[in-house]
Structure 1
């Protein structure tokens, strides 16, 4: 078992670099930000940056991987234990749904930088992959019988995961207008029941008549 701890100076430097990148991405496009810009904002030497990362894409990839690993550990790993006892028709959000938004809320600046201010493809694709597994597991638990789904399972998963991602983007862009529990509950109800309390019965009428 490897118990070697990271040097606190390394941790602090990487924290400074991460903070610098987030601040710069709030101010301008990602593509216009150089390694020198990041180093200057972090008040470290350019050479110090290269002691930790090969280049800017490697830096962002490392940030993304760490963030997505944390998210996966919080919402997917515990899902098996919670799924067996949870009533998916209760109308209440599954604990993993709440943890999803709690995770984002605690790392709001980083998510906004990578997903909203500048939609970094590597991060957005990785996030969608995590959401895909999360949604697929949820649908499998909620309804394991394909005959009770309104669409093919792979279509249903793709539909729900895409909606998840865009709701997350909307929630971040609008500065979290609903609490973590509220947005989690709304998203879960939409995922299971769709946008209607009841299937709407729209009356058909003939073409308007003139008198």
Structure 2
């Protein structure tokens, strides 16, 4: 039997279930979404559902985690070309703004429901925490080359994450009237106004196209 993580049939079933969940979350609170509603929306049997998940809670938690995994897998890139030489045991990964906005544009229904629907606050909290964790690791890897502002690192991270996700929330809420490229350039301009002698959290967010000029 093929590995469940790579079996095309398994992947297709789970993707259909995730799409069904997102569509239902536009109409119902999570607690009002039953396994029956999910399976009917995804056009699969309850038996098939329970082959993949223990129960509704297991399905929701794993589905939302997979959505975040897929997002960060798509937008995190090697930071070698964007940072000064840093002595570290493992490559420093940075966040590609262009890839992030393009990915969200392609998955707009999913992210709009999960980020802007007040009923889905836990997803936003997980997204916030995941991005904050990446920034914390970035700070640790940069080490002595990191800019010292005299402000607790947790406050700096909170400020940057809130700004980044706030822009994404509003961009989605406004119907994505600006292109991913324009959003990338705009954030790059805003972040460039934060002047630091050294590497700062704003250097974690990169514009790939700008680096190619």
What TM-score comes out, normalization by structure 1 length? 0.71
Q: Which position in structure 1 is the counterpart of 2:82? A: 83
1:107-122 matches, within 5 Å, as 107-122=107-122
Alignment of 1:19-168 (within 5 A): 19-76=19-76, 78-84=77-83, 96-135=96-135, 137=138, 144-146=146-148, 149=149, 151-168=151-168
Using a 3 Å threshold, how does the CA distance of structure 1 residues 71 and 16 change in structure 2: closer, same or farther?
closer
2: CA distance between counterparts of 1:98 and 1:124?
20
How far apart, in 1, do the equivalents of 2:121 and 2:104 lie?
Answer: 18
Q: Distance in 2 between matches of 1:95 and 1:160?
A: 13
Change (3 A) 1:54 1:192: farther
**Is the Cα–Cα contact under 8 Å of residues 131 and 164 in structure 1 kept in the other structure?**
no
Which deviates more, 57-66 or 156-165? 57-66
* Alpha-carbon displacement from aligned partner over 1:67-93 (angstroms, at most 9, x marks no partner): 2222323333x24223226xxxxxxxx
How far, CA to CA, are the matches of 1:9 and 1:95 in structure 2?
31
**Bigger-Rg structure (1/2):** 1
1:124-172 per-residue CA deviation (whole Å, 9 max, x = no partner) reads: 222112322455538x69x7220xx374433222111112122211111
Q: Which residue of 2 aligns with 1:15?
A: 15
Residue 183 of structure 1 is matched in structure 2 by 183
TM-score (norm. length: structure 2): 0.71
Cα distance in 2 for residues equivalent to 1:59 and 1:22: 12
Q: Answer yes or no: is the 8 Å Cα contact 1:30–1:118 preserved in 2.
A: no
Asked whether the equivalents of residues 135 and 160 of structure 1 are also in contact (C-alpha less than 8 Å), the reply is no
CA RMSD of aligned residues (A): 3.0
Larger fraction in strand: 2
How far is the alpha carbon of 1:54 from its aligned partner? 1.6
Would the alpha carbon gap of residues 163 and 33 (structure 1) be closer, same or farther in structure 2, given more than 3 Å must change?
A: same
Report the Cα offset of residue 95 of structure 1. 7.5
CA separation in 2, counterparts of 1:20 and 1:154? 37
Q: Structure 1: where are the runs of 5+ without partners?
A: 86-93, 195-211
Aligned residues: 181
* Alpha-carbon spacing, 1:75–1:82, altered in 2? closer, same or farther (3 Å): farther
